[in-house]
Chains A and B, each alone.
Chain A
Amino acid sequence: SAVISQKPSRDICQRGTSLTIQCQVDSQVTMMFWYRQQPGQSLTLIATANQGSEATYESGFVIDKFPISRPNLTFSTLTVSNMSPEDSSIYLCSVGDAFEAFFGQGTRLTVV
């Protein structure tokens, strides 16, 4: 198993601003994943972050809007840029493989 800490746990932000979410894992992992859960929707994969390479984004998500950093094997950040109310969601960091993924507690973002 893995223990994942996310910061902040929640935030209320003004539209047009950016928020950076941090994800810290208690062990070294090759891949880290960022998900979004919009209200009433499923968890949707935003991107996969490998240490030492560019993140791989899923269809509908772009680097300019959701830049990701992966400076080492235990840490990653996701930035939500130029926010609008439609970005109000829970953002979750995840590690592990698809057969037993572990999640952080999530960051609840409200854009006003």
Chain B
Amino acid sequence: DQQVKQNSPSLSVQEGRISILNCDYTNSMFDYFLWYKKYPAEGPTFLISISSIKDKNEDGRFTVFLNKSAKHLSLHIVPSQPGDSAVYFCAATIRYGGATNKLIFGTGTLLAVQP
């Protein structure tokens, strides 16, 4: 059972435009969500996170939106740059009351930003 889903395996965007990466989850106990970026031959690096008590968190060009009722979150990158081309993983965890620090990851979306 895939608790965190990224239904778009790939996305292509023109430089300067907005990139929107989507993520859905099924476990209503998740209360903290993260986005990681991964370049080839490198490990994933933390990008941005959001707690379930918020519906938006912004960090520079990156904004994450959370819709708890729909169990959906999205990552917006504005403006997109060629250096943003990477695989983006959505992850979720139970921060409060969780038994472990376990992260549940989606399958990733490959973003290609065209110059």
Contact = CB atoms under 8 A, between A and B. Distances in A.
B108 A42 contact: yes
Contacts of A103: 43-45
B4 interface: yes
Contacts of A105: 41-43
A44 to B, nearest CB: 7
Contacts of B2: 42
Nearest to B4: A42
Interface string A57-93: 0100000000000000000000000000000000010
A100 B46 contact: yes
Given A42-B4, A42-B105, A98 B43 contact: no
Contacts, number: 65
Which size bracket describes the interface of A in this complex?
Answer: 20 to 34
A45 B41 contact: no
B46 A102 contact: yes
A101 B46 contact: yes
A43 interface: yes
Interface string A1-43: 0001010010000000000000000000001000000001111
User: Does more than half of chain B's interface fall in helix, strand or loop, or is it mixed?
Assistant: loop
A53 B17 CA distance: 50
A9 B41 CA distance: 8
A57 to B, nearest CB: 12
B93 interface: yes
B91 to A, nearest CB: 8
Interface string B32-74: 1010000001111110010000000000000000000000000
B42 A43 contact: no
Contacts of B93: 98-99
Contacts of A43: 44, 89, 91, 103, 105
Interface of B: 2, 4, 9, 32, 34, 41-46, 49, 89, 91, 93, 95, 98, 100-108
